[in-house]
Amino acid sequence: MRRNILVVMLLCIACGMQAKVQKLASPNGKLKMEVNVGNDLSLRVMSGSEVLVDRLDLALQVGNERLGQKPKLKNAKRTTINTVVRNAVPMKNATTRNHANELTLRFADDYSLVLRAYDNGVAWRFVIDKKGTVDIVNEPLSMNFDKAFGLHLSPVSSFVTSCEEFYQHINTESYAKMDKMTYLPVLFESPQGVKMLFSEADLQDYPCMFLCSSGKNKVASVFPKAPEAWEPAGDRGETITREGNYIARTNGQRALPWRYFVVGSDADIAANEMGRCLAAPCEIDDTSWIKPGKVSWDWWNCWSVWDVDFETGINNETYKYFIDFASEYGVEYILLDEGWCKDVRNPFENIDVIDVQELVDYGRKKGVGVWLWMTWLAVEQHPEVIEHYAKMGVKGLKIDFMDHSDQWMVNFYERTTRECAKHHLMVDFHGAFKPAGLEYRYPNLLTYEGVRGLEQCGGCTPDNSIWLPFMRNAVGAMDFTPGSMASLQPEHYVVSRGATAGMGTRAYQMALYVVFESGLQMLADSPTRYIQADECTRFIASVPVTWDETRILSAKAGNHIVMARRSGSKWFVGAITGNEPQDFTIPLDFLTKNARMTAFRDGANAHRLAVDYRKEQRDVTPQQTLSIHLVKNGGWCAVFE
């Protein structure tokens, strides 16, 4: 009898332990999450039989409470999400399917943990239900891997960063506590080759998360503290002189940002729309005034035009030349970058040879809109500048040098974008952190920098840029500013301001317009160079910045990508590589009918003379395949119509 009682007791204990493990699977059943509710909260993430994250510890320090410590589960609710979202500014597809299984775990102490499992990823967030305003002291997160995983990151020594670092490629075993932290996104790779892109979404009234090493095969979260006092730092920024002992002072009844992994192949990472699925709804009722497009940009080419009868530089005559060029080639906008106002701290006073209203009026007659650059500090200290230039007819603002991602600065992004939307101004943030959801709530935010782009000149190498479709661009639009017509192989590169060049072949620079995503896509080179390269420029100008459909035809992170995109009835294909030549066979089964192909490929000598290219035109059918060759740092691009 005593033996039977003991067996029953052991079975009860076992059942009780089992009840503390909550499981969630993706709709196709391949991705699985296990939530362990014991002395603390932890997750386990698996793909099939492979363990991706052996243990992921979660907690939330709210004031003196540590939520997630000895958690008491009150109830669990399961639901399925299966909706289709229409995108106001479609970076990849006109519509996005949001299909996931969701689990909400409600705990004592007034908080919940919400988890989602998608076929291509997993996500989770805390939701708190506290009274009044609370101080979130920390959101400790620790990832523990049971073996060495590949790790691709962007090392920084400070929270003050423009997020433009070279990628570093190591593994979790060699990533040590004394090494630098990294901003998001971060790309992991399992021993079996499964890729995992980690980032965050629906970031509101909260700082950005960074990651650091917490030991062998362990990484942990770290956050900038909330600033409480500042002092001026030059003419375009401020230095934080005092921080609070919390990361966010915020409403006690709210959801915190999503943390997510995109999981799958290299192509899955590049094609993902996880940030879109996790974003809050659009808050602009009428988005018809938001017009994504391309921009003839001045700063990179140093206002250098020639074969003209006026002295070029930052003056109205030069910008009218930019407008004339844009109008001729169907480029929607020009940008006045730094130099048009007398003092960056006073965005109302032009230099004597610039008349913004005259340029706006001239551009309107030519069908070309005008954007203005200014510092975040000028916008913050003169918020009325938004209405001032909107009434003048300016189409958008490029706002620069934030270089912070604490709670205060995250809120600056939001209130500035919201105020710009109120006055029908579009926004491009430079010196910026990565996209994390604001662009979906306010789609007038067309793009962010936060990328090591072409403005870095000799610091923008194709072997680093080839990672962008799998990391930075995989979480949202990026203002890379492509388009150098003065193309050089890296071993021949020399920087000369005023005669700036870009690395990669001519076909590579052209293909970037298909491969890289941005609702505001710059033409970085001189209008004169573009006019001289007329057939290349007409192709670039014809490439849309928004898309109805995107397909990844071939992809390997750090090696190459081949991408097909549809706009209306036209298909565009772009292919780029790093410092190794590539050969591909591309199926044309994305076509629904016979088409005329116009393609640009690397020339026979492009491996030495990067400007060498060839144009090809011929008829093709959906049943055909194409064989293409890319030289090192090369490209291939085509339109099918």
- Alpha-carbon distance of 67 to 381, in angstroms, equals 38
Q: Residue 409: which H helix or E strand, with range?
A: helix 407-422
Q: Tally the residues of the chain.
A: 641
Nearest to 60 by CA among 121, 113, 14, 2: 113
- Please check whether residue 57 is in contact with residue 41, taking contact to mean a CB–CB distance below 8 angstroms: yes
- Alpha-carbon distance of 25 to 21, in angstroms, equals 13
- Please check whether residue 324 is in contact with residue 552, taking contact to mean a CB–CB distance below 8 angstroms: no
Given the residues 202, 332, 400, 463, the one annotated as active site: 400
- Please check whether residue 571 is in contact with residue 563, taking contact to mean a CB–CB distance below 8 angstroms: no
- Alpha-carbon distance of 362 to 425, in angstroms, equals 19
Give, as one character, the DSSP assignment of residue 468. G
- Alpha-carbon distance of 136 to 160, in angstroms, equals 21
Hey, which bits of 40-72 come out as E strands? 41-47, 50-58, 60-62, 65-67
What lies within 8 Å, CB to CB, of 365 at 6+ separation is none
Torsion of CA 31, 269, 561, 333, to 10 degrees: 150
Tokens 């049943």 -> residue: 623
- Please check whether residue 340 is in contact with residue 334, taking contact to mean a CB–CB distance below 8 angstroms: no
Asked about 146 being catalytic, the answer comes back as: no
- Alpha-carbon distance of 620 to 460, in angstroms, equals 35
Nearest to 274 by CA among 100, 155, 397, 459: 100
- Alpha-carbon distance of 261 to 25, in angstroms, equals 14
Q: How many CB atoms lie within 10 A of CB 346?
A: 12
What lies within 8 Å, CB to CB, of 591 at 6+ separation is 571, 620, 621, 622, 640
- Produce one character per residue of 290-313: b if its CB has 16 or more CB atoms within 10 Å, e if not: bbbbbbbbbbbbbbbbeeeeeebe
Q: How many CB atoms lie within 10 A of CB 200?
A: 24
- Please check whether residue 508 is in contact with residue 634, taking contact to mean a CB–CB distance below 8 angstroms: yes
- Alpha-carbon distance of 92 to 435, in angstroms, equals 15
Given the residues 165, 200, 337, 455, the one annotated as active site: 455
Q: How many CB atoms lie within 10 A of CB 367?
A: 12
Q: Residue 463: which H helix or E strand, with range?
A: helix 462-465
Nearest to 174 by CA among 148, 194, 193: 148
Give, as one character, the DSSP assignment of residue 231. E
Asked about 517 being catalytic, the answer comes back as: no
DSSP calls for 102-149: EEEEEETTTEEEEEEEETTEEEEEEEEEEEEEEEEEE--EEEE-SS--
- Residues that are catalytic: 400, 455
